[in-house]
Chains A and B, each alone.
Chain A
Amino acid sequence: MTTVQWRQRVGRIGLYALIAWICLFFSIPLLVVIATSFKTSAEVRTFSIFTLPASPSIASWVKAWAHACTGLKCGGIRVGFWNSVRILIPSVILSVSVGAVTGYALSHWRVRGANMIMLLLLLCAFIPYQVILYPLVKMESTASIYGSLAGIITVHTVLGLPVMALLFRNFYVGLPEELVKAARIDGAGFWRIFAFVMLPLSVNILIVATILQTTGIWNDYLLGLIFAGRDNVPMTVQLNMLSTTSTGEIEYNVNTAAALLTALPPLLIYFLSGRYFVRGITAGAVKG
């Protein structure tokens, strides 16, 4: 072998070693969590966290889902799951549709001060939530929706708007202006053009927006903690309550199972729709 070939081979080995190391780095914690969730309490207590479960059992998954206690209630994490679903569905539908209409209006209709609105949206997209939490709470309590399902849905919709509007605007800007002109001459108005001309062209971007919002809202902890109210705590918040419960012994196996259950929906969505996700993002980025 020549020196060049040697060098290439060494470089390649180094590359794979690095990739393997990075994979391990990210997957070991996950593997520990998965392994722990299938162990019995005794096993968790006596053995190292790196050992595999001796006799894998789904008992802790069942317990986490249906019987685990947070405070005095012992309904399992499924309570939070259904709360999350109830928050998620209206929030996603509202934020995506409001974002789509806003993006469409800003891209194809002459809105007074459209550039200013765009700038503001862009700014809003970069403001950390923590900064505006207090005024948001005040506003919601003035409107008497603070601590209710409507309250948390409103917050998700409003805070999702900047990113959604920008996403849709950038997509619609790429569609030919003449389509809207032709439809206007055909007699269609703002809504009809949106419904019959623009929406049918928006399937990819709608999927992208839905994925972004679904994972974002599902994984949200802070807003759910503050705005959802006691009866609507989302799964993430309940998971935290479950794992920080200080009474009795800490059931690591149940906690890890609950954590995995909570992380499952966004993971499933990524796996099922990754293809559309990439396609939609590039479709929006390049052109219609």
Chain B
Amino acid sequence: MSAVVVSGLSKSYGSLRVLRDISLPIGSGDFTVLLGPSGCGKSTLLNAIAGLEDIESGIIEIDGVDVTQREPSKRGIAMVFQSYALYPTMSVRKNLSFGLRVRSVPRAEVARRVEWAAKLLQITELLDRKPSQLSGGQRQRVAIGRALVQNAKVFLFDEPLSNLDAKLRTEMRVELKRLHQELGVTIVYVTHDQIEAMTLATRIAVMRAGVIEQYAAPDDLYEAPATLFVAGFVGSPAMNFLRGRMAVGDQLSVTVGDVTLPLNGYRFTSTPAPGQEVILGIRPEHVVLSSDGWVDGEVLFMEPMGADTLGWFQCGEHRVSARLVPQAARGLTGRVRLSLMAEHASLFDAASERRL
């Protein structure tokens, strides 16, 4: 059962088309992340689902009901904003209960729900403070609490962690994941941070220029990106891209520079033409040092990252990174042989930038 269904959604600001015919079914209980660079339309899409943004065409259904023309408050949603948007003059308690009082929920019920949310988010002792007396992390909790008390069908998060410092962000990420598992609610979450997306989401929709490039589970997105853009955007350190040509022969292989790489074990989704220009994408963890490797590389420098070290190599005209075991990376100089694990690679048509 789908909690939210967006179909054929379009929106423009003047001549700029920010959303182009978006269709997105979101399953009940899903944690869906809208991921993309700034200006890709992800926040606009979220605001459209919330009803805060007028749309030109398309239909938005929430919980099986067409809510396209409904007011935000009549859609069964709750929202957490990037700037928290707490009411500055109200205490935390009033912030949490404002929406309920507006909806004339009985007093006892309001108190019960506020207590429940405050306990869940560990902000009970802050209930009588004003937002200005809270730290960033505490404000964030209050903002989440304000959404939780609503008993909404769908929770919308607009970059809720981007105003927090790195440590707090990691903590809140875990907190959000816990909340999602504990409450089993449907969440639509906007972020430009791919790590946040990978760690939180059950499904990720990667957006670019008003279009959803790929909508898939985090693992699928990471392992089999559908487009060159997704491949480059998701994953840190980033994927290596090697320009080459499909080689002619009895076995499918790619010629990069003067090296021919066999594509044993690669699962093609379409049949490439011989001589077709392609881009071979390979993640750093799938580039390995091996004495019988196919590629000759000159050691450039090492980036120790703790658990592993990112090694950079000059292979012909390409600069290739490899995720190495720190011990192996230490003292590595001169020329080395590298092999690429073709079964984990991604092959894209150079023209359409789609996966082959």
Contact = CB atoms under 8 A, between A and B. Distances in A.
Specify whether A and B are partners: yes
A201 B132 CA distance: 13
Interface in A171-204: 176, 178-179, 181-188, 192, 196-197, 200-201
Interface residues of A, number: 16
B235 interface: no
Contact of B85 (A181, A188, A200, A201): A181
A188 B102 CA distance: 6
A192 B102 contact: yes
Contacts, number: 60
A186 B90 CA distance: 14
Given A182-B85, A197-B87, A187 B102 contact: yes
Nearest to A182: B85
B321 to A, nearest CB: 39
Interface string B46-84: 010010100000000000000000011100011101110
B89 A185 contact: no
A181 B90 CA distance: 16
A51 B103 CA distance: 72
A185 B72 contact: yes
B85 A178 contact: yes
> Which of A179, A182, A187, A200 has the most C-beta atoms of chain B within 10 angstroms of its own C-beta?
A182
A185 B99 contact: yes
A226 to B, nearest CB: 42
Nearest to B143: A182
A185 B62 CA distance: 15
Given A179-B87, A197-B87, A201-B89, A185 B98 contact: no
Contact of B79 (A185, A188, A200): A185
A196 B99 CA distance: 12
Contacts of A186: 73, 98-99, 102, 146, 150
Interface in A184-228: 184-188, 192, 196-197, 200-201
B87 A183 contact: yes
Contacts of B89: 197, 200-201
Contacts of A197: 87, 89
Contacts of B50: 181, 185
B88 interface: yes
Nearest to A179: B85
Interface residues of B, number: 24
Contacts of B52: 181, 184-185
Contact of A201 (B88, B99, B102): B88
A186 B145 CA distance: 13
Contacts of B71: 184
A176 B88 CA distance: 11
Contacts of B98: 183, 186, 188, 196
Contact of A181 (B79, B102, B103): B79
Contact of A185 (B78, B82, B83, B87): B78
Interface string B131-155: 0000000000000001000100000
Given A186-B98, A187-B103, A196-B98, A181 B81 contact: yes
Contacts of A196: 87, 98
A181 to B, nearest CB: 5
A186 B102 CA distance: 7
Interface string A138-181: 00000000000000000000000000000000000000101101
A167 B55 CA distance: 32
Contacts of A178: 81-83, 85
A100 to B, nearest CB: 16
A139 to B, nearest CB: 38
A200 B89 CA distance: 6
A216 B82 CA distance: 42
B301 to A, nearest CB: 44
A239 B2 CA distance: 76
Contacts of A184: 52, 71-73
A182 B73 contact: no
Contacts of A179: 85, 87-88
A157 B47 CA distance: 38
A197 B87 CA distance: 6
A200 B88 CA distance: 9
Nearest to A110: B54
Nearest to B104: A187
Interface in B93-146: 98-99, 102-103, 146
7 contacts: A181-B50, A181-B72, A182-B85, A184-B52, A186-B98, A186-B99, A187-B103
A-B interface, 3 closest residue pairs, ranked by CB to CB distance from nearest = A186-B99, A187-B73, A200-B89
Given A181-B50, A188-B73, A192-B102, 7 more contacts: A179-B88, A184-B52, A185-B50, A186-B73, A186-B150, A200-B90, A201-B89
